Every structure is written in C-alpha cells, then in structure tokens.
Amino acid sequence: MTAEIKLAKLSNGLELIGEHNPNRQSAALGFFVKTGARDETAKESGVSHFLEHMMFKGSARRSALEIAYELGNLGAQANACTNEENTVFYAAVLPEHFPRMQELLSDMLRPALEEKEFETEKKVILEEIALYQDRPQFYLFERALKDYFADHPAGNSVLGSNESISALQSSEMRAYFERRYSAANMTLAASGVFSWERFVKDAESQCGHWPSGTAQRVLSPYPARLTYREFRKKNILQTHVVFVSEGAAAQDEERYALALLALIIGDSTGSRFYWELVDKGLVESAGCDNDERDGLGVFMAYASLEPQNVEQVAGVMQRILKEPGSFSDAELERAKTKLVAKIVLNGELPLGRLMSLGTEWTYRRRAEPLAQVIERIRSVSRVEVLKALERFSLNTWSQYRLIPE
C-alpha cells in the first residue's frame, strides 16, 4: 500500500486526519463538523442547513462573490451537505491548488453572517423546502422518521419548515454557530496528492486561533414507536412504503452484520427484494439500509409501487423482514464480496476516500486503512450475523405509507 494515514491535533482541539496517496490525479479536503438537525432546538429548526449555505456567503476577509469567484479560479469541485448529525464542507482540486483551497475553506468556516446576505439566502432555503415538497420519497421519509423518533431530536427535520426558517434571526444563527462550530467539535480531513506537513502547518496558522469550545451532544435512547401511519399527497401516481426498525449505531460492531443483511435483503441486484419484487415487476424500486448514526441506528426498508399492489408488496416485505436469519452461506459470501468491491472502488477516488476517513474519525475516532476494513468485512461469520439479530431483530417495526390522494 502506498497510502498511509496520519493524525494530528491542534492545541485548540481541532483534529486532522489525512491519507496521502501519490498515485492519484487530485486531492480532496473537507471540514467534518459534528452538528446537524439533531443538535437544534425546535425554534432553531433548519439552522444547521441554513448556516451551511451561509458559509459560502462571505467571511471577514471575503465577500460572497469573492468566495464564488475564488472557487471558480481554483476549478474546485466544491460543495457542502448537512444531515441529521453532520455538516460537511468539501472540495476536490488539482494537487497544485490544494494549499489555496485549504486557506479558502478555513476562511469560509468563519462566516460573516451579514444581515443582507442572510435575508437573500433565506429565500433560497424556502425555495429548497418547496423543491423537496415535490419529491414524494423525501416527503414520506421526513414524516416517517419524525413520527418514529417521536419527540427524540434524531427525528428533527434537516431543512426545517417555512415557519421556522421565516422566523429565524441572524442573531440566533450566530449563537448556534458559536455553540457548535468550535474547533474541538470538528475534524479537518484530506486525501490524495498533498503534503501532510504543509497541511498541518497551514491548519495551525489558519485555524489554530479558533475557540476550542464545549459543544456536546446528549446521546439519549429513543422510545421505539411501533405504529402504522398513512400520509396522503395530491397529484402523485405512485405509492411509497417504508418500514423502520431499530438498527446498529455507528459505534456498534453489529453495523457490519447489518450492512451485509441490508445487501442480502435489499440490494439493487440479486437480493431478496430484487427477486421477489423488482424481478416480478411488482415495484418500481425497493431497497434497504442500516442508517448508522451517533449512538443509535435505524434499519429502513422501502419501496415505490403502483397503488393497487400495496397490500401484496407490503406483505412480501414483512415476510422477508420477519426472517432475516434465513440467509444461506452463499448469500452472505456474495454480500461480503459486493461490499468489499464497493469500498475499494469508492476508495479509489480522493473524494470518496475523504468521506470515509472523515466519517470514520467523526464517529469512532478510528483511522483504518482500507485493507483493514476489508479484512473485517471478510471476517463476518454466520454466527456473528445471527448474534447481531438477537439485538436488532428487524421484525418489530413501524410502517408508513404515502398514498396518492
């Protein structure tokens, strides 16, 4: 292996992780901030995502336009994303632009949050909320998870609502920023062609003065709600169904077993759902996933289909989910081979590798070379999967449907 993972920590707590790989054409870097919808109060709903947008809207040293133009000058493939518990700012660049990109990204992470830009961007966020209202699967998932998690913050909406965003003040966003964007609550990661020594030195001068902070996340258990609910939406043709049950957390060793089970049950080729639902033309698509999060997880199985088939399809899904331990050794081996191939292919791109490194470190404070991850997946035995199923049975769930009105 030519790639080697290195770690460093600045005195203010900002952690650095990097995997230099000279056999690539590009470099990627990103800030992984441990904050998301889950860390918001009801009044702040949507602020994490809105704040992510504001990082592109000006810092103490640059205006919004200057940031946009500089990203353009660097030819940066840059973006950011926010989910329930992480906000990530990332960019892939040609190796010669890496130091300038690092300086730009670090500067962006100290936003000006200027009032006029705040009000303009608020309109963009309201447009984004409207856009997602027109996507049926998203519409269902957001409502299903909110209901499933009951009042637990894990069910918070990432985008927020028209009401919460319209009412949000820039002073509230500033307070949230100061509470969550402290050095000790984030990781700066890099991969591909770059110099580790320069990366650390530049991080020290660009981020070393950021306050360390005391951001915390309370990891409370959630009351698993077992229910059946239907939502209705006008003007759609397809029905959508999702089953939600307790899954493995990002810190649970069982996550390997559940990731493999998700492939056995719901992968897009050769899975149980494929043969019983897709191959027979009963659904437009079907899949499942163990969504590993901080201290908790959800296992979700979903399908989109013609309304008249909903009872039959939901019946088949329930039957498959009730007997997750009935897989053959060959099915398990195939799932392992698929997962390994997926990880290797994804890891060949600096941006793909960056995402695994940053996520791995954020959740587990672990830095594993790919070879080690692959070995761990290959070691999963039938006994290990069955043991995981003793803890996460997958056969007690909540079912949600979105039905054309």
Partner 1 sequence: MPDSQNITIETLSNGMTVIVEEINDIESVAYHLLIPGGIINDDPAFIGSSLIIPELTSRGAGELSAKSLSEAFDACGIRHSESGGHDRFTYRGSLLSSYLDEALRLTALMVLKPRLPAEEIAPIQSLLLQDIAAMMDSPARRVLVEMGLRYYPEPYNRSGYGTEPGIKACNGRQQRLDWERRYGAKGAVLSIAGRCQTKEVLKIVGRHFKEWGGEAESRPPFGPLPPHARHHIPFESAQLQICLACPSAPYGHPEYYAAKVAAGILSGGMCGRLFIEVREKRGLCYSVYARHSATKDYGALMVYAGTTPERAADTCDVLLEALRSLGGTIKADELSRAKANLKAALVIGEESSSARAASNAEDWWLDRRVRSLAEIISEIEAVDCRKVDEHLGAYPLNSFMSVTLGPKEIGA
Distance CA(12)–CA(9), nearest Å, equals 8
Report, in Å, the least distance between residue 395 CB and partner 1.
25
Stretch in the footprint of partner 1 (CB under 8 A) among 33-41, 113-121, 214-222, 385-393? 113-121
Binding mask 283-322 for partner 1 (x = CB under 8 A): xxx------------------xxx----------------
CB atoms within 10 A of CB 190: 29
Order across the sheet with 228-233: list the strands.
Answer: 228-233, 398-404, 239-247, 297-305, 285-292
Nearest to 206 by CA among 105, 81, 274: 105
Sign, CA torsion 91/95/101/103: positive
Residues of span 216-255 touching partner 1 by CB under 8 A = 234-238
- Asked whether position 93 contacts partner 1 by CB under 8 A, the answer is yes
Cα–Cα–Cα angle for 16, 18, 23, nearest 5°? 165
- Give the residue with the Cβ less far from partner 1, 12 or 137: 137
Cβ proximity to partner 1, 135 vs 376, nearer residue: 135
Q: Does 11 bind partner 1 (CB under 8 A)?
A: no
Q: Is 376 in the site for partner 1 (CB under 8 A)?
A: no
Q: How far is the CB of 217 from partner 1 (least distance, A)?
A: 28
Residues 6+ apart with CB under 8 A from 247: 258, 290, 291, 292, 297, 298, 299, 300, 392
Our finding on whether 180 is near partner 1 (CB under 8 A) is no
Check residue 334 for interaction with partner 1 (CB under 8 A): yes
Regarding 68 and contact with partner 1 (CB under 8 A), the answer is yes
Measured from the CB atom, is 117 or 252 closer to partner 1? 117
* Binding region for partner 1 (CB under 8 A) out of 38-46, 207-215, 242-250, 338-346: 338-346
346/126 Cα distance (integer angstroms): 33
In this structure, the number of other CB atoms found within 10 A of the CB of residue 264 comes to 23
Residue 127, interface with partner 1 (CB under 8 A)? yes
Pick from 269, 372, 379, 396: which binds partner 1 (CB under 8 A)?
Answer: 269
